Amino acid sequence: MLGRLNHVAIAVPDLAAGTAVYRNMLGAKVSDPQPEPTHGVTVVFVELPNTKIELLEPLGENSPIAAFLAKNPSGGIHHVCYEVEDIIAARDRLKGEGARVLGDGEPKIGAHGKPVLFLHPKDFCGTLVELEQA
Ligand code: CO
C-alpha cells in the first residue's frame, strides 16, 4: 500500500532560523516561505535528491503545531508523509484494521495540492503519519 516517502515535516519555532540551518549550514536547496492559512502553518520546502524536508512554523491563533512546539520548544520531527495510489482505498483499509483517521476522516487538499489524511500517532509507533495520494 505504501509508496515513496514524500516528506518528513519538522516543526520549528523560527522559520528564518530553520531556513538558515538548511540553506547555509547544510547547503540544501530551500524554497521561499509559503503561508498555508487553512493548515495553520507557514512552510518551506527543502529539496533533497530522494525526498523533501518541510519546515513548519505556526501561522495564526489555532495552529495545529502550537501544542507540539510547546512540548518541543527547539522544534522536532512532527510527521512523516507516505504516498499512496488511492487515498480512499488506503483509508478504508486502515479503518478496517482499527486505525484512527484524524479529523472527519475525509481527505483535505494538502500543501502540494493533493489529497491528504492524517493518522493517529498512537496507532503508528508513536509517529503522526500523513498519507498523500501521489
Ligand atoms: Co506534511
Mean pLDDT of 42-46: 97
Ion ligand 1: residues, CB < 5 A: 9, 81, 130
Which of 55, 59, 54, 56 has its CA nearest to residue 40?
59
Cα 60 to Cα 65, 86, 89, 132: the distances in Å are 11, 32, 33, 24
Percent of the chain with pLDDT over 90: 92
**Annotated active-site residue in 54, 57, 130, 132:** 130
Residue 61 has what pLDDT?
A: 86
Q: Where are the chain's structural domains?
A: 2-133
Residue 130 bears catalytic tag: yes
pTM: 0.93
Q: 95 CA to middle of ligand 1, Å? A: 20
Q: Model confidence over 63-121: pLDDT tens digits?
A: 999 999 999 999 999 999 999 999 999 999 999 999 999 999 999 998 788 999 999 99
- Judge residue 73's burial from the number of C-beta atoms within 10 Å of its C-beta, 0-12 exposed, 13-18 middle, 19 or more buried: exposed
Q: Which CATH superfamily is domain 2-133 in?
A: 2,3-Dihydroxybiphenyl 1,2-Dioxygenase, domain 1 (3.10.180.10)
Q: What is the pLDDT of residues 22-40, one digit of tens each?
A: 999 999 999 999 999 988 9
At 38 the pLDDT is: 84
CA 117 – ligand 1 centroid, Å: 9
